[in-house]
């Protein structure tokens, strides 16, 4: 049941296939297209129910400028960066350390510890909502950047450890034996041998964690009620007034929010190098 190649000679099949792909792609992108289109409409379009039709005018610059001048989105944006970047770094550092130890050192309880890291991922956030909120209050960090950073790092590290452990375990044993027989300490081995070789994994993990944390809405609502620390996802909700909603503005803000994860992807892309361990072992 592999996806087989469509023969070049079978013209009918070829065009049917192309049509099907186009259709699926259009369905997939339609909501995004509508949001993009709405983000350039004048506010009046949404009010009269022109959601899908041609915009009555183009207010691209006006809408996007207003997002940052008429609303606190700029502040939320800043908050999001302050929360996301340290969280991602924390996740990468911790999961590299845990993954390295769990994959390379045999000790009593190794498997149990690893199982706990994985098992933690299966706990639904919802059941932790109240305890985590209470915990942050008693720690005195409720409604602060630190609350979100700490809990994002904690929740992401479980999966990230699984990811890094398996990646580091796949490196050839001989490299570690060679480093050890040359007198490199475990930390030196980590810094000079492991990290350069797991760069693609770190890049992939950075994108995953960044997107996840950036897009988080749940913890943002639970832990940061104040505008001063609220990230973009929760902030977006604030743009809706009690009685009116400027949908053009909300759409423009939505598009603006989606940009950083995309930028992140392109930044990290150059680290996806295939065959990084080529030449390490065998001929």
Partner 1 sequence: MSNLEISNISKFYEGREVLKNVGFKSSEKEFIVVVGPSGCGKSTLLKTIAGLTSVDAGRILIGEHDVTRAEPGDRDIAMVFQSYALYPHMTVAENMGFGLRMAGHPKQQIREAVEHAASILRITDYLDMRPKQLSGGQRQRVAIGRAITRSPAVFLFDEPLSNLDAALRTQMRVEIGQLYRRLDATMVYVTHDQVEAMTMATRIVLMNSGVIEQVGSPIELYANPVNRFVAGFLGSPRMNFIEASVTDVNDEQIVVALEGLDDIRVARRHGVGVSRGDTVTLGIRPEEISVGRQRRHQLPARVELVEQLGREVIAYVDTGSIRAIESENGLGHLTIQVDRKSAMSRDDDIHIGFDAEDIYLFNADGMTMTPNRDTEKSPVHEVSEA
Closer to partner 1 at the Cβ: 42 or 200?
200
Give CA torsion, residues 180, 183, 188, 194, to 10 deg.
-30
Closer to partner 1 at the Cβ: 49 or 279?
279
Query: Least distance (Å) from partner 1 to the CB of residue 223?
Result: 40
Residue 135 to residue 156: CA distance in whole angstroms: 18
Query: Least distance (Å) from partner 1 to the CB of residue 109?
Result: 19
Closer to partner 1 at the Cβ: 65 or 111?
111
- Give 206: exposed, middle or buried? Use CB within 10 Å, 0-12, 13-18, 19+: buried
Positions touching partner 1 (CB under 8 A) are 172, 174-175, 177-185, 188, 192-193, 196-197, 275-283
Query: Least distance (Å) from partner 1 to the CB of residue 96?
Result: 16
Q: Where are the alpha helices (DSSP H) in the chain?
A: 11-40, 43-47, 60-69, 73-104, 110-120, 125-139, 145-169, 173-181, 186-189, 195-197, 199-215, 218-223, 232-238, 247-269
At 76, phi and psi to the nearest 5?
A: -60, -40
Query: Least distance (Å) from partner 1 to the CB of residue 265?
Result: 23
The dihedral built from the CA positions of residue 59, 217, 270 and 21, taken in this order, carries a sign that is negative
Query: Least distance (Å) from partner 1 to the CB of residue 172?
Result: 7
Closer to partner 1 at the Cβ: 141 or 178?
178
Closer to partner 1 at the Cβ: 11 or 278?
278
């Amino acid at each position: 049941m592999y996806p087989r190649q469509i023969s070049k000679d079978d013209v009918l099949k070829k065009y049917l296939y192309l049509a099907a792909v186009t259709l699926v792609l259009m369905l997939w992108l339609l909501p995004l297209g509508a949001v993009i289109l709405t983000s350039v409409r004048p506010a009046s379009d949404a009010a009269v129910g022109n959601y899908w039709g041609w915009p009555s005018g183009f207010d691209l610059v006006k809408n996007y400028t207003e997002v940052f001048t008429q609303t606190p989105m700029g502040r939320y944006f800043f908050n999001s960066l302050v929360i996301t970047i340290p969280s991602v770094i924390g996740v990468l550092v911790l999961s590299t350390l845990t993954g390295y130890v769990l994959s390379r050192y045999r000790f009593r309880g190794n498997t149990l510890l690893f199982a706990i890291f994985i098992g933690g991922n299966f706990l639904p956030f919802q059941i932790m909502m109240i305890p985590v909120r209470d915990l942050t209050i008693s720690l005195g960090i409720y409604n602060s950047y630190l609350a979100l950073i700490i809990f994002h790092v904690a929740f992401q590290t479980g999966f990230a450890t699984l990811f890094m452990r398996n990646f580091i375990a796949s490196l050839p044993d001989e490299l570690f034996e060679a480093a050890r027989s040359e007198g490199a300490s475990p930390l030196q081995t980590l810094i000079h041998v492991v990290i350069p070789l797991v760069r693609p994994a770190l890049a992939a993990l950075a994108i995953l964690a960044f997107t996840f944390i950036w897009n988080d809405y749940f913890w943002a609502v639970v832990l940061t009620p104040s505008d001063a620390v609220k990230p973009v996802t929760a902030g977006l909700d604030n743009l809706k007034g009690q009685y009116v909603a400027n949908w053009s503005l909300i759409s423009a803000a939505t598009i603006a929010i989606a940009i950083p994860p995309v930028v992140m992807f392109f930044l990290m892309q150059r680290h996806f190098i295939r065959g990084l361990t080529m030449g390490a072992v065998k001929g």
